Structure 1
Amino acid sequence: MKRINTEVLKIDRNNPDKEKIKMAADVIKNGGTVAFPTETVYGLGANALDEKAVEKIFIAKGRPQDNPLIVHIGDVNQIYPLVESVPEKALKLMERFWPGPLTLLFNKSDKIPSKITGGLETVAIRMPNHKIAVELIKEANLPVAAPSANTSGKPSPTNASHVIEDLMGKIDMIIDGGNTGVGVESTVLDISTDMPTILRPGGITKEDLLEIFPEVKIDPALEKSSKDLKPKSPGQKYRHYSPNAQMIVIQGELQEISQSIKELLKEYEEKGLKVGIMATEQTKNIYESKNVIVVGDRDRPETIAANLFKVLREFDKKGVDLILAEGVEESGIGMAIMNRMRKAAGGNVKTIEN
């Protein structure tokens, strides 16, 4: 693709400069692409109602055409022209979790181009909880389609430097608003059928949703990837979040995990491989390796979520051949963390049974 002159704008997330926000909004209104921070990861935004603008997202990312995009709104009232109807259960969820890291699937209206939905009759919509994102969308006065602002398949960006690494020269503008907070993408919840179904775990946990509904289903596609699957949500079909190195995730009790990693470290180093270890605060001192990176604290799993993609990119910079990663308990935000780890490892997970 032809190289674009990408402008980088630094904006204070707590006190966004109105003139700079207007500059970015004008890019979107004129059919351009803008990377901007949200509370989850950085998104690559374009006018969701302009098919040509949306196509620029797919080209810049190298994204498969059947991988649906999430539409972001800055005000709840923006949703009504985009969907056939807003059911009662959606209103409850919007009142409780919006703005925030929850994406809801609705039956789409004719206003939404099929390119956004990968040919599906449903559209994924969320309202981000980030001042820059909300001000940008409000100023543009348009719904904004925005997948993560990275090269498709690579770890999602949690600060502007990651976006610059991947997309400089491919998009019109990058807003540098500092680090994101949650660190993993939003939860995607299908409410277009009777049973609320999690299509992608994220910042709003199953436990959070069970405070609203008596039962919440997990989509079976989360457990396995299929070439024949028609993805209803981003992240379902394709390998995602992947570092350059191969990755193995080890699950089980912490003592068994660390023992297994030590054995694998020895085995692979003897084969001449440069091995990185993704450790936690609890285990950082037990591995005899120069390539240990601490991803967070097991007692505060939200720290692991916040740092996961950044750490995967750090291993890329170290040039390791293999990453051995400690799995986490799959409760709360742990379900989202393990979902991203499985995807990053291409499903290469070793479970240690007692």
Structure 2
Amino acid sequence: MAIDMDAVRLAARKLEAGKLVAFPTETVYGLGGDAENAAAIADIYTAKGRPANHPVIVHVAPEADITYWASDVPPQARALIAAFWPGPLTLILKRAAHVPAAASGGQDSIGVRCPSHPVAQALLREFKGGKGGVAGPSANKFGHVSPTTAQHVREEFSEPGSLLDYVLDGGQSEVGIESTILDLSRVATHGAVLLRPGQISADQIAAVLGVAPTAPDAAAPRASGTLDAHYAPHTPVAQVSADELAGVLQQLVAHKYKVALIHRTTDAPAVYAHVAMPSDSDRYAHDLYAALRDMDHQGADVIVVEALPQTSEWQGINDRLRRAAFDSTGILSRLLAP
């Protein structure tokens, strides 16, 4: 893709001045600030309405020295970096002493990744001559659906007085869901721990490490996007199995509810609004957040999502949908109660 280097340079200068800049990555758009500027990090939390103990991810250029950010880089991290960077994998490592604790929510660990999006890489190479890091959670209000286009970002931060200073447009994000997060900060005692699934699967990680990552334990570091309720539209969300879908929709329509449906079947049912999704996991992930935003704008009573396969390639998408629906648990029972 053609890169507007004037826009990239402008964005880099704004970051260097302590301003907040939304920037594209292959996963979703990030709300960026200088990872070594505690005031800029504080502005990220304020702009998003994000709890101060919820860590952000530091984005670095492909040529970056990872030891600048992490006090310990185990061999497992080196192997995964060689296999998957640049790409949608965040590694949690022990934080170097000079890196502000605000970037990690006060923890002694730090999340680092190198994005593959060409505009993100151009920005990271321009910012501080490629030697800086950009703290960048998703560029949306805390807990809401993540943005995959520049327009999504503008919609999120359209209010007067927003702390977002600039939006660097890089087109639609290719992957569409956030990065896989793997904890290696306690690898000697706990091994690799999968904190958040994403496009890079547990099976792919196991192929590199020779052992499968484990599930989070009670002492695992806090990480971005791992709260029970997250990625949620304003409209309640309910997942329904393919076998039960037709019957549930019939009942909702009979009760005069406006249903916005996200489905994979080819036939368009008689509901208020719907979007037919791709059948393969990569294309589904690419379209997911745009579909949730579109259905959220329809003024429906409920968003019904046709449940997906439970195989490994769908793990990251199922994780996002589960969290999107968490605060809506029981919504169908309430709507269809006698």
**Mapping of residues 1-354 of structure 1, within 5 Å:** 14-141=1-128, 142-168=132-158, 169=160, 170=162, 171-194=164-187, 195-220=191-216, 232-250=222-240, 257-280=241-264, 283-285=265-267, 287-297=269-279, 300-346=280-326
Confirm or deny: 8 A CA contact 1:69 1:124 kept in the other structure: yes
Secondary structure of 1:234's counterpart equals: coil
Confirm or deny: 8 A CA contact 1:73 1:143 kept in the other structure: yes
Separation (CA, whole Å) in 2 of partners of 1:308 and 1:296: 10
**Aligned residue pairs, count:** 321
Shift of 1:209: 0.8
Separation (CA, whole Å) in 1 of partners of 2:78 and 2:219: 30
Deviations 1:70-109 (A, max 9, x none): 0000134332111112111111111110000000010001
Structure 1 stretch displaced more, 133-142 or 178-187: 133-142
Query: What TM-score does the superposition give when structure 2 sets the normalisation length?
Result: 0.90
Change (3 A) 1:292 1:102: same
Structure 1 residues not aligned, in runs of 5+? 1-13, 222-227, 251-256
Separation (CA, whole Å) in 1 of partners of 2:98 and 2:283: 39
Change (3 A) 1:230 1:115: farther
Secondary structure of 1:125's counterpart equals: strand
Separation (CA, whole Å) in 2 of partners of 1:216 and 1:349: 31
Secondary structure of 2:8's counterpart equals: helix
- The two structures, once aligned, show a CA RMSD in angstroms of 1.9
Secondary structure of 1:278's counterpart equals: strand
Secondary structure of 1:240's counterpart equals: coil
Confirm or deny: 8 A CA contact 1:342 1:349 kept in the other structure: no
Change (3 A) 1:78 1:214: closer
Separation (CA, whole Å) in 1 of partners of 2:170 and 2:114: 18
What amino acid maps onto 1:82 in structure 2?
Answer: W
Confirm or deny: 8 A CA contact 2:205 2:213 kept in the other structure: no
What amino acid maps onto 1:320 in structure 2?
Answer: A
Structure 1 stretch displaced more, 65-74 or 211-220: 211-220
Confirm or deny: 8 A CA contact 2:140 2:153 kept in the other structure: yes
Structure 1 stretch displaced more, 260-269 or 114-123: 260-269
Separation (CA, whole Å) in 2 of partners of 1:24 and 1:294: 36
Confirm or deny: 8 A CA contact 2:109 2:221 kept in the other structure: no
Separation (CA, whole Å) in 2 of partners of 1:43 and 1:236: 17
What amino acid maps onto 2:140 in structure 1?
Answer: N
Separation (CA, whole Å) in 2 of partners of 1:272 and 1:200: 38
Structure 2 residues not aligned, in runs of 5+? 331-338
Separation (CA, whole Å) in 2 of partners of 1:286 and 1:173: 39
Separation (CA, whole Å) in 1 of partners of 2:215 and 2:328: 20
What amino acid maps onto 1:178 in structure 2?
Answer: G
Separation (CA, whole Å) in 2 of partners of 1:218 and 1:341: 21
Confirm or deny: 8 A CA contact 2:268 2:274 kept in the other structure: no
What is the aligned partner in structure 1 of residue 334 from structure 2? none
What amino acid maps onto 2:199 in structure 1?
Answer: G
Confirm or deny: 8 A CA contact 1:198 1:216 kept in the other structure: no
Confirm or deny: 8 A CA contact 2:236 2:303 kept in the other structure: yes
Deviations 1:32-76 (A, max 9, x none): 000011000000100000000111111111111111100000134
Shift of 1:349: 7.2
Shift of 1:229: 8.8
Confirm or deny: 8 A CA contact 2:57 2:112 kept in the other structure: yes
Separation (CA, whole Å) in 1 of partners of 2:214 and 2:286: 23
